[in-house]
């Protein structure tokens, strides 16, 4: 069964189209107008084994906030659509990923209950990574978790460089998400919940 989805979102602030395949090979084509954010979305695709296309035109003359948040909304919505009734998924997963001195842990429950715990101490002397406000990382993950209806815990264990910390976050989340949505062949016809639905 194909686990793909496409969504579009158009507001006065952004115009976005996203297509993804949960069972892809990690290929991406991303254009948001924010170089570092494109790099992070490419990492999300590559390390999550997700084929991802993102085309976004946003009000970057104001700042990057609307673009980053709205892209999170649309990608999260695509994940929700692609999962369908979540039959056969592993559901729970975690990953801890280093990037040089940075170490970040991501824990995922594809629960149907949106929640984000975000404890990622960022160096106050490094508020920007290129044209990307480091604090927008939290906004992306909050929007993503809400729309995907997943529980997501992101914890920065250590790190001194904002670029390394944020990148390790995207890679850890990608690997945890990939493991959580993987089909468990032993229970491919079962929704992994005592409720019978997620």
Does a structural domain hold residue 192?
no
- pLDDT surpasses 80 at 1: no
Helix axes 136-148, 162-181, angle to 10 degrees: 10
What is the CATH number for 91?
Answer: 3.30.230.40
Does a structural domain hold residue 45?
yes
Domain that holds residue 147: 4-187
Q: What is the mean pLDDT of residues 102-119?
A: 98
Does a structural domain hold residue 56?
yes
Q: What is the pLDDT confidence band of residue 44, given thresholds at 50, 70 and 90?
A: very high
Q: What is the pLDDT confidence band of residue 119, given thresholds at 50, 70 and 90?
A: very high
Of all residues in the chain, what percent carry a pLDDT higher than 70? 100
Does a structural domain hold residue 198?
no
Q: What is the pLDDT confidence band of residue 28, given thresholds at 50, 70 and 90?
A: very high
Mean of per-residue pLDDT scores for the chain? 96
Does a structural domain hold residue 160?
yes
CA pseudo-torsion sign 172, 177, 179, 180:
positive
Q: What is the mean pLDDT of residues 90-95?
A: 98
Query: Residue 162 is inside which H or E element, if any?
Result: helix 162-181
Does a structural domain hold residue 91?
yes
- pLDDT surpasses 90 at 142: yes
Does a structural domain hold residue 146?
yes
What pLDDT does residue 123 have? 95
What is the residue whose two structure tokens read 């919940």?
Answer: 193
Q: What is the pLDDT confidence band of residue 91, given thresholds at 50, 70 and 90?
A: very high
Q: What is the pLDDT confidence band of residue 108, given thresholds at 50, 70 and 90?
A: very high
- pLDDT surpasses 90 at 193: no
Considering the entire predicted model, what is its pTM?
0.96
DSSP 9-59: EE-SSEEEEEEEETTS-S-EEEE-S-HHHHHHHHHHHHHHT-EEEEEEEE-
Total domains in the fold of the chain: 1
Structure tokens at 92: 């729970």
Q: What is the mean pLDDT of residues 55-71?
A: 97
CA 72 to chain centre: 7
Who's near 1: CB < 8 A, 6+ residues apart?
A: 84
Does a structural domain hold residue 11?
yes
Rounded to 5 degrees, φ, ψ at 191 are -80, 120
Q: How far apart are CA 133 and CA 61, in angstroms?
A: 14
């Amino acid at each position: 069964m194909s686990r793909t989805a496409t969504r579009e979102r158009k507001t006065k602030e952004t115009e976005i189209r996203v297509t993804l395949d949960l069972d892809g090979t990690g290929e991406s084509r991303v254009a948001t107008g924010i170089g570092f954010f494109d790099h992070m979305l490419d990492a999300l695709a590559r390390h999550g084994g997700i084929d991802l296309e993102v085309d976004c035109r946003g009000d970057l003359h104001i700042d990057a906030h609307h673009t980053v948040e709205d892209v999170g909304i649309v990608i999260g919505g695509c994940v929700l659509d692609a999962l369908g009734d979540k039959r056969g998924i592993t559901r729970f997963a975690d990953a801890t990923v280093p990037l040089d001195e940075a170490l970040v842990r991501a824990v995922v429950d594809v629960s149907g209950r949106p929640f984000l715990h975000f404890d990622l101490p960022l160096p106050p002397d490094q508020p920007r990574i290129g044209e990307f406000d480091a604090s927008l990382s939290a906004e992306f993950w909050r929007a993503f978790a809400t729309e995907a209806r997943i529980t997501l815990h992101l914890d920065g264990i250590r790190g001194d460089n904002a670029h390394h910390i944020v990148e390790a976050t995207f890679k850890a989340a990608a690997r945890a998400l990939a493991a959580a949505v993987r089909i468990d062949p032993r229970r491919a016809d079962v929704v992994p919940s005592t409720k019978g639905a997620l």
